[in-house]
Amino acid sequence: MTSAWNRILDSADIRAPRLRHDYTRQRAAVARYKPHAYAAVRLLLPRPVVPHVIATTAFMHHTDNLLDQGPLPGRVSAYRSWENEVRTALATGHSDHPVIRPLLHTVTVHPGLAGQAGEFLAGAAADLDFCGFATEADYQHYIDAYSLPAFMLVAGLLAPEAAPADYRAACRGYIDGSQRLDFVNDLAEDLRDGRLGLPYDALKQHDVTRDDLENARDTPGLRALLRSQLQQAQHDLVASRRLAGLTAPANRFFVRAMVTLEILTAQAAARKGADILHGSARPSVPAALRALTREYRRRLRGTPV
């Protein structure tokens, strides 16, 4: 372990060797699959918060993998087993699983997380046999059942002790935009896996078929569909900038950067146009670095507002 990471674990009062090893494994996993987000966490959050955000993020990622990978019968069995294991661990406070152990420790520091983890598990089953949405209303139900509870695992760690009444609503606005963006940005991968995150009524409105998407047909309707979805995503993300002002002051640098990185991703996806059907868009490295550097300098100056 690096000395900087050791200091982070010390600041969070994570002392037991096995637990330190668990958090370190989670750190490596998050850095590997979400490098921009990991950089923002390390640069912009207070040290005592960092391991807990990493633990909940890694827990979500592990759960998502169980929900998404392999044939459906195997996924159902694997998820049910995982859900029982996590719920038992939350009830008893004990687990031998290296993903659950750090989550349990984080729950001792942030007790409200136990209820949020339970809500997340209850909604996660909605993702098991997911293959698409008939309507925008179905998509919105998915946000409430699964995406928002997942996001609250992290957002709950960033809220002040007495969270404002509209904190959850602001979180929902952010995750609505972020999830819509993900469904557009991940179209190529999702379609290969037999999934489609764009509502069928949106396809119908623009005279686009699933076959058009699967074969990456660059038609005016397809471009209009992608443009419409990305405009809605970006609108919701821009509106969610208010979320930073509702979080604990020390966490506002990170939240602002998080929202900005998503807006930059939406802009990159819009520039890619129909080519998004061949692979995801990412914000440019210079643009991402500017967003992180701007908030890091603010943090050094101690100006969270």
Q: Block means of pLDDT (10 residues each) for the chain, length 305 residues?
A: 89 95 95 87 96 96 86 85 96 96 96 94 84 93 95 95 92 98 96 92 97 96 98 98 96 96 96 96 93 94 72
Residue 95 sits in the same domain as residue 176: no
> Is 204 found in the same domain as 222?
yes
Q: Let me know whether 189 and 282 are in one domain.
A: yes
d(CA 240, CA 242) in angstroms, rounded, equals: 5
Q: Are residues 5 and 28 in the same domain?
A: yes
Asked if residue 218 and residue 81 are part of one domain, the reply reads no
Given a contact cutoff of 8 angstroms between Cβ atoms, the answer to whether 276 and 188 are in contact is yes
Please indicate, yes or no, whether residues 194 and 85 belong to a single structural domain of this protein: no
CATH number at residue 245: 1.10.600.10
Shared domain check, 162 and 117 = no
Cα atoms in the Cβ-side hemisphere of radius 13 Å centred on 234: 15
DSSP state letter for 111: T
Could you tell me which of 167, 293, 145 has the C-alpha nearest to residue 240?
167
Last residue of a domain, one of 93, 113, 128: 128
CA-based nearest residue to 123, from 106, 102, 144, 93: 144
The pLDDT value given to residue 1: 58
Give the pLDDT of residue 265: 96
What is the distance of C-alpha 57 from the center of its chain?
Answer: 8
Examine the domain organization and report whether 165 and 177 are in the same domain: yes
Task: Provide the CB-side half-sphere exposure for 67 (13 A, CA).
Answer: 21
Same domain, 212 and 296: yes
Note down the domain range covering 293. 130-305
- Give the predicted TM-score (pTM) of the model: 0.92
Per-residue model confidence (pLDDT) at position 304: 62
Which residue, of 128, 150, 174, is where some domain finishes?
128
Number of domains in the chain: 2
Contact by Cβ (8 Å): 295, 82? no
Residue 71 has a pLDDT of 76
d(CA 264, CA 278) in angstroms, rounded, equals 19
**How many C-alpha atoms does 44 have within 13 Å on its Cβ side?**
29
Task: Let me know whether 219 and 168 are in one domain.
Answer: yes
**pLDDT at res. 286:** 94
Last residue of a domain, one of 128, 150, 175: 128
Q: Are 240 and 174 in contact (CB under 8 A)?
A: yes
CB-based contacts of 105, cutoff 8 Å, min separation 6: 14, 19, 55
